[in-house]
Structure 1
């Protein structure tokens, strides 16, 4: 929001029904590009030493939350599990029965540490968008889901090469459909190359990015709109109407926040599910 809008809000309301007041200024994509926190002129000549972004801080927070959960659920391993161990076992079984086993079978059990870490880390990064005073999902910056998709990309290629006994055999399995007649291969092989090695990692990253980006922008719009409409000083009639409008926007904000939490969980689930699918496919013949 502009400085004029913020000043008006500080005086007791938004801009609705205020003669000559500022119009509503919806949040823009600028909210996804926070300025780096700098420490003076130190390192001003270098882009790597000039400050630290909010994304980097939230990434550290998400990493700490992930490690804390793993430590809390595994610190005391006993035959009769306590509360923390029980929660950890429930989560372990959820990943194994809903993701690993359906996508990779028993062979996928050795990849459970990777899948569990991916799910927890992505979910922790996602919920940064609804935690008060943080309120910025880390995957809304494309570089972070691209980094995770790249890890999965490298993993399933390495797994495929090992499973098939060489680069050539793996590539043949990945891009040459079994049983396809030779005369159609010039058409199918390029399609398989583009699909498996270009579109697959791109959509893997963009899916979570686009969802977090759009969801956060929607929540920011409801929050800004609700505050803009809250103007009880506009008089008994218009003031009441503005409060009602603002209350409706607040209710929508709360409902969409709950909905966004579900989406955050589902995006972590889908990202992990696709990672298991890609690794599982790399282990098998085409």
Structure 2
């Protein structure tokens, strides 16, 4: 059972509603950061890990879903595509024309499969936060966006060094072209921190923070709707509680649709930045 469902179940067991008999406040049942730390099902004695958790299951499920999507939509490609192949082709065209070529040019077409895999993988991991029974975005755990950002960071460095050599690549990233010599002692440290420290950190944090905040917002509206619903309050208070509960449910539905858009947008932003970084490595531009 997901953490947000457990929160609502606990509230039900304690009869914790607005105008309830035990006069509990919403802060006593409201979901918190504990949503994102599910209890491990097994530890296996592995150091520096949280063991086998719900995140692990959803990660494996995400991988299988992405593999299944690309397998079943492309295994029997036809000149006149069916529905599945049409969806796959639209996705390929979108990532190629809106992500890869704007960021890398035609030279980046060989990285198109990588960008497609990253986009669909991140999107599916994000959507796990909306699937009943799962209700936990994999990317709301910092470890997963961090590994993906680290992969892109290493790839960016490897491509840049392979294309231009170590010295030329590093110089292009830490010495702004056209900058006067006298200001370089100030600019070079800033560029080193910006390109080699902040770049991978912000790449990971952007995805992680958005997914964490979005899921927490949905959980608050879900728990709030239950807390506000109390037919036993009596008279006008029952009507008021139902009205407020309905508004909370409406907000939950609206934000669910908005969160689905944000999930797709964050997957797009992640691969767009990855494409721009790799494009810089290919061209050697600062």
Q: Give TM-score, length-normalised by structure 2.
A: 0.91
Equivalent residue for 2:25?
Answer: 23
Partner of 2:278: 279
Find the aligned partners of 2:241 and 2:82 in 1 and give their Cα distance. 52
CA distance in 1 between partners of 2:76 and 2:8 (Å)? 53
Q: 1:255 maps to which residue?
A: 254
Q: Deviations over 1:215-267 (max 9, x none)?
A: 11111110111101111122132112111111110000000000000000000
Q: CA deviation digits over 1:116-165, x for unaligned, max 9?
A: 0110000000000111111001111100000000010011111101110x
Query: Is 2:230–2:241's contact at 8 Å kept on the other side of the alignment?
Result: yes
Structure 2 gap ranges (5+):
none
Partner of 1:117: 117
Residue in 2 that maps onto 1:177? 176
Residue of structure 2 in register with 1:69 after alignment: 69
Runs (4 or more) in structure 1 with deviation over 4 Å come to: 3-8, 45-51
**Residue 207 (structure 2) aligns with:** 208
Contact 2:8–2:223 (Cα < 8 Å) also in 1: no
Number of positions where the alignment pairs a residue of Structure 1 with one of Structure 2: 279
Is the 8 Å Cα contact of residues 160 and 284 (structure 2) preserved in structure 1? Answer: no
Give the equivalent residue in structure 2 for 1:35.
39
Q: Counterparts of 1:1-286 in structure 2 under 5 Å? A: 6=9, 9-10=12-13, 14-25=16-27, 26-38=30-42, 43=44, 52-164=52-164, 166-286=165-285
RMSD: 2.1
Kept in 1, the 8 Å contact 2:95–2:115? The answer is: yes
* Structure 1 stretches lacking a partner, 5+ long: none
How far residue 189 of structure 1 moved from its aligned partner, in angstroms, is 1.2
Q: Distance in 1 between matches of 2:174 and 2:105?
A: 23
Tell me: CA distance 1:4–1:218, structure 2 relative to 1, closer, same or farther (3 Å): closer
Q: What is the alpha-carbon distance in structure 1 between the residues aligned to residue 47 and residue 103 of structure 2?
A: 42
Deviation of 1:46 (Å): 5.2
Query: 1:53 offset after TM fit, Å?
Result: 0.4
Aligned-residue offset at 1:169:
1.5
